[in-house]
Chains A and B, each alone.
Chain A
Amino acid sequence: MVEIVVPDLGEDVEKAKISFWHYEEGDKIEKNSDIVELTTDKATFNVPAPETGIITELYFEEGDEVEVGEVIALIDDENEELELSEDEEEEDTNF
């Protein structure tokens, strides 16, 4: 399981708002695809997924305030179905 954590967003920035989820629970996400948009008083950031996997949990709603360091989502990067579907994709590309 991979945790999506609110990253450091600058000195004395303790909170951010979840302004947009790019995916829903159950969706497959590729590594480096943006999973969530976070907004601070100063700027807006897209946080990418560190690994490919299935999103199993989105712990907050859009509009919620979250703290720097807080876990806001979970990605299952060890899902057997995911591995299977990747294998299938690979096979498909061989034809």
Chain B
Amino acid sequence: MSLNAVSTRLPHWLIKKIYRNEASLETKEILKSLKLNTVCESARCPNMWECFSKRRATFMILGDICSRDCSFCSVKKGVPRDVDESESAGIAEAVGRMNLKHVVITSVTRDDLEDGGSSHFARTVSMLKKRYPEVLVEVLTPDFQGKVDCIKRVAESGPDIFNHNIETVKRLYEYVRPRADYYRSLDFLGFIKTNYSGIYTKSGLMVGLGETGRELESVFDDLRSAGCDILTVGQYLSPSKNNIPVAEYVHPDVFKDLENIAFAKGFLYVMSGPFVRSSYNADQVFDKIKNKDKTEV
């Protein structure tokens, strides 16, 4: 064993098993044949093989080129192409072939479009709801630069869960999300909860970027004040040498502590762990909050 190999190994809790089996290969084939983008592949998600093996994927619409240049993300950046409206039908087809009961749709950010891509989101959600009324639809959208009409358009297309990620603590926005705004994202979530009380709201955070525990608690408080129902917390992993480096590998015990703290602040459901991502096991989360709602009633 070389010393070099030892020194570059990550902590044992950050080693992910590859689930390369018939189901995962079939999922890949379906996505490829329908020319669909997923954030699983584009963001080099370490959970990709696991999720594909369970016949799950998070669809990424509005192309595969992002108009922003967030320093934590590996999705391609540049000048996006025209919107391909056939993406919606492709996703609807994939949902049927993968027998999905819970669909998560996200996108690249499209600041170049007047509507931020909200019409395409709405078209896709409406199509899915019409073709599969029993299927739950979760959207994970960019901030649409805070444009209320865009947020309304997506909310009124009928998603069951509306996710918008706060991503990091307020102090680190300039460093991590220079073209986003902490309060704009909070207002975004608050607007949905105030105007569409039947939609669950959700947000996610990366840790290991240099934030403190106190700063994280402050974000939890702000999200609860905005009425956020569901929270995900996961370890930031730097996609390449061109992205910002990891400041800390957070121990699983700390993730558990964060989960307990967040639950105590009143979130309906919290998922916190090294490999937790925005849409990781999203279907299981919905089952749990539905049961919780029933219990509380």
Give A residues with C-beta under 8 Å from B. Answer: 7-13, 17-20, 34, 37, 39-48, 50, 61-63
Q: Which of B181-231 touch A at CB < 8 Å?
A: none
Q: A19-B9, A20-B1, A62-B2 are in contact. Are A46 and B238 (CB under 8 A)?
A: no
Q: With contacts A61-B2, A63-B2 known, is A44 near B9, CB below 8 A?
A: yes
User: Is residue B59 contacting chain A, with contact meaning CB distance below 8 A?
Assistant: no
Number of interface residues of B (CB under 8 A): 28
Indicate whether B150 reaches chain A with its CB closer than 8 angstroms: no
A42 partner, pick from B2, B5, B74, beta carbons under 8 A? B74
Interface hits, B150-184 → A, CB 8 Å: none
* Minimum C-beta distance from B252 to chain A (A): 15
Q: Considering only CB atoms, which chain A residue lies closest to B4 in the complex?
A: A63
Contact A45 B44 (CB under 8 A): no
A44:B16 contact, CB within 8 angstroms: yes
Interface pairs (5), CB distance under 8 Å:
A10-B42, A39-B8, A39-B9, A43-B237, A46-B16
Q: Which B1-53 residues have a C-beta within 8 angstroms of A?
A: 1-2, 4-5, 8-10, 14-18, 20, 28, 41-46, 48-49
Q: Is the CB of B9 within 8 A of A42?
A: no
Contact A43 B5 (CB under 8 A): no
In the complex, are the beta carbons of B18 and A11 less than 8 A apart?
A: no
- Chain A's closest residue to B17 (CB) is A46
Q: Does B266 contact A (CB under 8 A)?
A: no
Q: How far is the CA of A52 from the CA of B14 in the complex (A)?
A: 26
Residues of A within 8 A of B241 (CB): 41
Do A44 and B20 touch across chains, with their CB atoms under 8 A apart?
no
The answer to whether B17 and A10 have CB atoms under 8 Å apart is no
B63 at the interface (CB under 8 A from A): no
- Asked, given contacts A10-B48, A44-B10, A45-B17, whether A20 binds B5 with beta carbons under 8 Å apart, the answer is yes
From 234 to 261 in chain B, residues with beta carbon under 8 angstroms from any chain A beta carbon are 237-241
How near does chain B come to A37, taking the closest CB pair, in angstroms?
6
Give the residue name and chain of the A residue nearest to B3 (CB): A63
A11 to B240, CA, bound (A): 12
Q: Complex formed: what's the CA distance from A17 to B7 in Å?
A: 13
Residue pair A43, B16 in contact (C-beta under 8 Å) = yes
Q: In the bound complex, what is the Cα–Cα distance between A89 and B17 (angstroms)? A: 28
Q: Which residues of A contact B4 (CB under 8 A)?
A: 63
Name the one of A13, A45, A46, A62 contacting B5, with C-beta atoms under 8 angstroms. Answer: A62
CB of B18 within 8 A of CB of A7, answer yes
Taking a contact as CB atoms under 8 Å apart, the answer to whether B45 and A10 are in contact is yes
Fill in one digit per residue for B83-111: 1 if any A CB lies within 8 Å of its CB, else 0.
Answer: 00000000000000000000000000000
**Chain B residue with Cβ nearest A21:** B1
Given the known interface contacts A13-B44, A44-B9, A62-B5, the answer about A37 and B238 at a Cβ–Cβ threshold of 8 Å is no
- Assuming the contacts A10-B45, A10-B48, asked whether A18 and B15 have C-beta atoms less than 8 A apart, the reply is no
Q: Contact check, A41 vs B239: say whether CB atoms are below 8 A apart.
A: yes
For A17, the chain B residues whose CB sits under 8 A away are: 5, 8
Option from A37, A42, A47 in Cβ contact (under 8 Å) with B239: A42
Q: Which of A7, A13, A40, A44 contacts B14 (CB 8 A)?
A: A44
Do A41 and B2 form a contact, CB below 8 Å, given A10-B44, A46-B18? Answer: no
Q: Which residue of A lies closest to B39 (CB)?
A: A11
Contact between B5 and A18 (Cβ–Cβ < 8 Å)? Answer: yes
Report the bound CA distance from A78 to B10 in whole Å: 35
Q: Which chain B residues lie closer than 8 Å to A46 at the CB level?
A: 15-18
- B20 contact from A7, A18, A63, Cβ within 8 A: A7
A-side contacts of B18, CB under 8 Å? 7, 45-48
Bound CA span A17–B41, Å: 19
| Contact flag A43-B17 (CB < 8 Å), given A9-B44, A20-B1 | no
